[in-house]
Amino acid sequence: MAVRNLRDCHNYKNNNKGVNNMKNVKTLIIVALMGASLIASTTRTQALGGAGFWAEDYANIGAFPADVNNHSVAWTDGTDFTSIFNANGTTWGFAGGTDANDVVNMMWGNGSMGAAFGLNMLAAVECEDGDDACVAADAETNFNIGFGMPLAGMDFGFTYDGDMMGVNLRRAQNVWLWDNMLINFDMTPENTDDDTGSDMNFNTWFYSNTAYDGGTNGLFALGFAYGAEGCLGDDCETPDGTLNMVWNFAVESAMTDWATLRVNYMKAYDWMGGDNAPGMVNMGLGFNYGSFTLDMMLNSFDSMMNDPVKYVTGRNTAALGSEWTISYAW
């Protein structure tokens, strides 16, 4: 269901300083675009530091719904199927959804503004007397919405899934070595029914994309990510906040006219005293089949780089990819 996918992008739990470090490092790729998985696939941009740094990729649609106006594309990652098309000057998009109880997941664009809507309805469960194996449950309706438009020279996106609210801003901005700025904010209020505390994240990125000869594109970014979480209960201890400074580098380079290699390195340092960890590397591949493109995240790039002959000859025992998306654009 789109609602749950959206929430997954922001579920950064600060249980203590000892786990804050890798929690933030692993999720900072997604921090670059709040709400990225609302409908869009992020297989390519996961290997390039985050969708928000690559404005031309359709992975931006989830957090910047107005970007739906810039694409005519269909894609699937094996769990869902999405199609975006223009009909009589209006852009429409539909996805099947990943939850069995999804009713509709759709997008709309009028050329400048864009919106998204998802609805999920779970039927009530009624139990007969004496049926101890049955668990009664009330009917449940969940939804998510998104809206985006150009605003004061910026890309603006708003998302809400019934619990969490997210805001994304992106604009051209010269700051020292960088020429773009990306801002993300999300907030989830405490929920006494579910016994979950509040959660808030605020992130600011400065970044540059550079194109080189030979089909190579590079990303250089610096981000500051603040996170604070509350808690409920008399014995609850409020987790420590985090303030990570994050270095983010990525390269996408054409190996041939049909194959592309992608590499991303990210390193975070917590200024609020949390434990820190070594940087994280992600790698991916892209294949151009003419009208179709296949994007993959590499499953075990250490094994592949240390023993490439096994993978070239097809004698590898571990899977080459951890996830994939195939897209068709027109």
Average the pLDDT over 142-160 and give the result.
Answer: 97
> In the beta sheet, which residues pair with residue 122?
140
Of residues 245 and 40, more confidently modeled: 245
For residue 40, what pLDDT band results from cuts at 50, 70 and 90?
low
Angle value at C-alpha 37, between 102 and 286, nearest 5 degrees: 120
Task: Report pLDDT for 318.
Answer: 83
9 contacts 30 by C-beta, under 8 angstroms = yes
Question: Is pLDDT of 16 > 60?
Answer: no
Predicted TM-score (pTM) of this structure? 0.86
Pairing of strands 199-212, 259-270: unpaired
Average the pLDDT over 181-185 and give the result.
Answer: 97
Task: Report pLDDT for 234.
Answer: 75
Average the pLDDT over 306-325 and give the result.
Answer: 87
Question: Is pLDDT of 35 > 80?
Answer: no
The residues, any chain, with a CB within 8 Å of residue 7's CB and separated by 6 or more, are 161, 163, 164
For residue 315, what pLDDT band results from cuts at 50, 70 and 90?
confident
* Cβ neighbour number for residue 7 with a 10 Å cutoff: 19
For residue range 73-113, what is the model confidence (pLDDT) as tens digits?
999 999 999 999 999 999 999 999 989 999 999 999 999 99
* Cβ neighbour number for residue 301 with a 10 Å cutoff: 18
Instruction: Report the C-alpha gap between 181 and 166 in whole angstroms.
Output: 17
